[in-house]
Structure 1
Amino acid sequence: MPRLVDHDERRRTIVAAAWRIIADRGIDGINMRDLATEAGYTNGALSHYFSGKDEILRTAFEYVIDATNQRIDTSVGRRRGGRALRGLCIEIMPLTDEAKLEARIAVSLWQRAMTDPGMAKVNNVAVAAWKERMATYWRQAIDGGELPAVDVHAGVEVLMTTIIGLQVNAVLDPASTSRESQLALLDTILAGRASVTM
């Protein structure tokens, strides 16, 4: 009887190999030959699971976002307001080794997103969804008296821009992005001390 092949598992294996190469060498260091070797397949075998390098990179980006969203859902659970907002932010921020690896991959893939509309869309849809959740939780926190009244739209823009900056810093200047300094910055923004008050 022929052995059944788990198509999705093979795709995950290839994407995991892409993650390792991107994290080690950056986006310019990935090619199909090395990727096949890293994944344990022949070069030609990759074509059974992906149409080419662009699809692999786009899928790698989607997996980073999916991993982040799974952590957010686990962390936030049924929480609302300030605790939900802080939990969401913490899962996007590069606070753990896993999140720092994802930041390293994301920063490399943003380079490709500048010229790949499909990859740019993946990024923009994810960021828009995070902003929407941030705004919802922030309004709940204001209504519940947990956080001071601020311009929520401006606050979300400051928060998201700060988090993206922290991801870049975690890759380029890790010494400047300690866990303590990141959380202090988050709390400064949420407390309304970052020029987002009404």
Structure 2
Amino acid sequence: MPKIVDHDQRRAELIQVILKVMSEHGLAGTTIRTIARAGGFSSGVLSHYFTSKDEMVNFAFGAVAEAIFVRVDERLRTTKSPKDRVRLLVEELVPSNGIDQESIVSIAFWGTALHDPDLRSQFHERYENWRNYLRRELVAAVNESGSDETNIDDNVELLVSLADGFLISWTLDPNRYDSATRQRLITKGLKLFNL
């Protein structure tokens, strides 16, 4: 009797292996062979799910982005203050301590997306989703504070740039930024926006 495979479960397992390999070997060292070896399966298994390395990177970034937004939605449900909600959105997109797989995949994806229009389109879609979250919470924070701030879109772009800068710096030089320093820098960054 043929083995019944749960393809959703298999994809979830594959994404964990892909993320592990990308975080340990970088994008250049992520190959079908290294992924198969790390996962303990044949290269043929991967070919059932992906046609190329770029497709795997795209899938990995999509899975990371989806996991982040699921986590954000869960945390937003229990966070009442708009200012705290903005902070949460920034904190969720930067490594909290050390280097994490999500950060490595995001940075690797950026480099790949520069040369691949399909991946760049996914990048734009995910970032627009993040901007919409930030915009909604910034409007709520302005309304709650009674501020006359009218330049929400510029502040959204500045917060995105701030978080991306933190992501790059904290991932490439994790020993320089301990947890307390990271929290202090986030607080100082948000104070620039009266948050």
* Both proteins in one fold, TM over 0.5: yes
**Structure 1 match to 2:40:** 40
**Structure 2 match to 1:57:** 57
**Structure 2 match to 1:19:** 19
Q: Which string of whole-angstrom CA distances, capped at 9 and with x for unpartnered residues, describes residues 133-192 of structure 1?
A: 11111111111118783622221111111111111112211133333333333333433x
Deviates more, 1:144-153 or 1:174-183: 144-153
AA matched with 2:103:
A
Query: Are 1:152 and 2:143 counterparts?
Result: no
| Identical residues among aligned pairs (%) | 25
**Structure 2 match to 1:163:** 163
AA matched with 2:12:
R
**Structure 1 match to 2:91:** 90
**Structure 1 match to 2:3:** 3
**Structure 1 match to 2:123:** 123
Q: Which string of whole-angstrom CA distances, capped at 9 and with x for unpartnered residues, describes residues 38-59 of structure 1?
A: 1221112211122222211110
User: For 1:91 and 1:56, how far apart are their aligned partners in 2?
Assistant: 23
**Aligned-partner SS, 2:115:** coil
> RCO (CA 8 Å, sep 6+): is it higher in 1 or 2?
2
Asked if structure 2 preserves the Cα contact closer than 8 Å seen for 1:82 and 1:147, the reply is no
**Aligned-partner SS, 1:27:** coil
Unaligned runs of 5+ in 2: none
Measured on the aligned residues, the alpha-carbon RMSD in Å equals: 2.2
**Structure 1 match to 2:186:** 186
**Aligned-partner SS, 2:28:** helix
Aligned in 2, Cα 1:153/1:10: closer, same or farther, shift over 3 Å?
same
**Structure 2 match to 1:81:** 82
Unaligned runs of 5+ in 1: none
Aligned in 2, Cα 1:166/1:189: closer, same or farther, shift over 3 Å?
closer
User: For 2:180 and 2:121, how far apart are their aligned partners in 1?
Assistant: 32
Aligned in 2, Cα 1:48/1:68: closer, same or farther, shift over 3 Å?
same
Aligned in 2, Cα 1:181/1:147: closer, same or farther, shift over 3 Å?
farther
User: For 1:131 and 1:62, how far apart are their aligned partners in 2?
Assistant: 17
The CA deviation at 1:83 is 2.2
**Aligned-partner SS, 2:100:** helix
AA matched with 1:87:
L
User: For 1:147 and 1:103, how far apart are their aligned partners in 2?
Assistant: 34
Deviates more, 1:156-165 or 1:12-21: 12-21
Asked if structure 1 preserves the Cα contact closer than 8 Å seen for 2:26 and 2:108, the reply is yes
User: For 2:147 and 2:190, how far apart are their aligned partners in 1?
Assistant: 7
